[in-house]
Structure 1
Amino acid sequence: MSTVLVVEDTPSEMALIASFLKDSGYTVISATDAKEALQKVTQYKPDVVVTDVVMPGMSGFELCRSLKKNPETEKLPIIVCTSKNQELDRLWAMKQGADAYITKPFSREDLLRALKSVVV
């Protein structure tokens, strides 16, 4: 099964996403901010990244740009998982390199559907 890097600074959201993924057979690596995520992408080579947008320091949008600019990670699928539910936010995320976009609150099915849409 796939390895998912979850980037989320809210402990309750992190726990929810991790439990949905683990219960579905995914291996979960966690990071609480984008800088830590960049280190873990290099270290663990996950199959997909699920990231929040609003985080201290670097935003999820900046994380997307950084990963997509790097030749080693440009093909890494990214799912943005955020409470920002405006169409403009979704379009901006896609412009930054996100491959899927889901809004909070989300169901387990929403998360798994997004994962299946980006992981071959």
Structure 2
Amino acid sequence: MMRKVLLVEDSQAQREMISTLLRENGWNVSIACDGVEALEFVQQSSPDLVVLDIVMPRMNGYEVCRRLKSDPKTMNVPVVMCSSKGEEFDRYWGMKQGADAYIAKPFQPIELIGTIKQLLRKET
């Protein structure tokens, strides 16, 4: 069965790069361009994992993560925060919102793929 990954990213270049990477690794990728869209998508089609940018219009990644993790229906969906905000504090704050992993951009593809595989393994 193909695992479903939701990619939440407002930059088109990043979206294309990351979604291609995920598809090449055999995941079924859906896209949301901002936090509001992401929450609607998760409610409708419960993905296996969410890759979440932080800096986005309408609702930032921290807020999205907090909402996903505080809703009993979505709290068990792993969230990988993926952001150009690479400071220790950003990472700390992301984990505080309930993120399962935090990856700073620019990242090595292997880092993202490895992290996702690990989180999806935990789940099964």
TM-score bracket, normalised by the shorter chain, equals over 0.9
**Cα displacement (A) at 1:57:** 1.3
The residue aligned with 2:98 is: 97
Task: Write the distance in 1 (CA, Å) between the matches of 2:14 and 2:24.
Answer: 15
Deviations 1:32-62 (A, max 9, x none): 0010001111112100000100001111000
Q: Which stretches of structure 1, 4 residues or longer, exceed 4 Å deviation after superposition?
A: none
1:64 matched to 2:57? The reply is: no
Residue ranges of structure 2 left out of the alignment (5+ in a row): none
Percent of residue pairs bearing the same amino acid type? 47
Partner in structure 2 of residue 3 of structure 1: 4
Q: How many residues align?
A: 120
Q: Give the aligned partner of residue 52 of structure 1.
A: 53
Q: In the alignment, what sits opposite 2:37?
A: 36
Name the counterpart of 1:77.
Answer: 78
Q: Which runs of 5+ in 1 are unaligned?
A: none
1:51-103 alpha-carbon deviations (Å, 9 max, x no partner): 10000111100000000010100111000000001111101100001000111
- Matches of 2:89 and 2:97 in 1, distance apart? 12
TM-score by length of 1: 0.97
Structure-2 separation of matches of 1:110 and 1:27: 19
Note the aligned Cα RMSD (angstroms): 0.7
Q: Which amino acid aligns with 1:111?
A: L
Task: State how far apart, in whole Å, the 2-side matches of 1:3 and 1:32 are.
Answer: 17
Deviation, 1:117, is 2.4
